[in-house]
């Protein structure tokens, strides 16, 4: 696995990991790309490592601005996003994201430790699934697999 700083990100705000595995989730011959948006470095690192090992091309951003920079310039298949990001709420990032990549309306998973009624309303307005922190990695893998686009196989060949 390799880490590198992405353009538009400063220091640990944006990082990328790629996996050399051969059995990778794929869309039309390409790895499924997942964007993880969380302001906690340890959560970003853990999710990037876990998703990369599972065969996903994973990009992480620790700020709303870094996430939007990625979304403006790179295709993302699935977005995992924390509701509480200091510079921009997750639901705001979501709304801007779907303006750039409309398919993310149906391929976004919120992650939050916020159990308030307001948090549930914000996520409910977005009509997205969510995981409550802390969560089991198996639940996250199942959710990402369910949200990831599927490659259609041609029966003739």
pLDDT above 60 for 24: no
Helix and strand tally (H, E) in the chain?
5, 9
Average pLDDT of the residues of the chain: 81
Of the candidates 117, 109, 138, the residue with the CA atom closest to the CA atom of residue 36: 109
Query: Would you mind telling me the total number of residues written for the chain in this entry?
Result: 157
**Domains with residue ranges and CATH for the chain:** 2-147 (3.40.50.2300)
Phi and psi, residue 58, nearest 5°: -115, 135
Q: What is the pLDDT of residues 115-144, one digit of tens each?
A: 788 888 888 888 899 999 999 999 999 999
Q: What is the pLDDT of residues 30-76, one digit of tens each?
A: 899 999 999 999 999 999 999 999 999 999 999 999 999 999 999 99
Of the candidates 88, 89, 94, the residue with the CA atom closest to the CA atom of residue 128: 94
Tokens describing residue 11: 């220091």
């Amino acid at each position: 696995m390799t880490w590198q700083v992405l353009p538009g990100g400063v220091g640990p705000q944006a990082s990328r990991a790629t996996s050399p595995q051969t059995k990778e989730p794929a869309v039309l011959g390409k790895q499924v790309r997942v964007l993880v948006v969380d302001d906690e470095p340890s959560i970003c690192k853990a999710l990037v490592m876990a998703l990369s090992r599972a065969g996903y091309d994973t990009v992480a951003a620790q700020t709303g601005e870094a996430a939007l920079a990625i979304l403006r310039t790179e295709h993302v298949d699935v977005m995992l996003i924390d509701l509480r990001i200091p510079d921009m709420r997750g639901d705001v990032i979501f709304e801007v994201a779907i303006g750039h990549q409309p398919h993310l309306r149906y391929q976004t998973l919120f992650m939050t430790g916020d159990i308030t009624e307001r948090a549930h309303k914000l996520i409910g307005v977005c009509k997205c699934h969510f995981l409550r922190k802390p969560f089991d990695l198996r639940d996250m893998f199942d959710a990402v697999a369910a949200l990831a686009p599927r490659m259609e196989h041609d029966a003739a060949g």
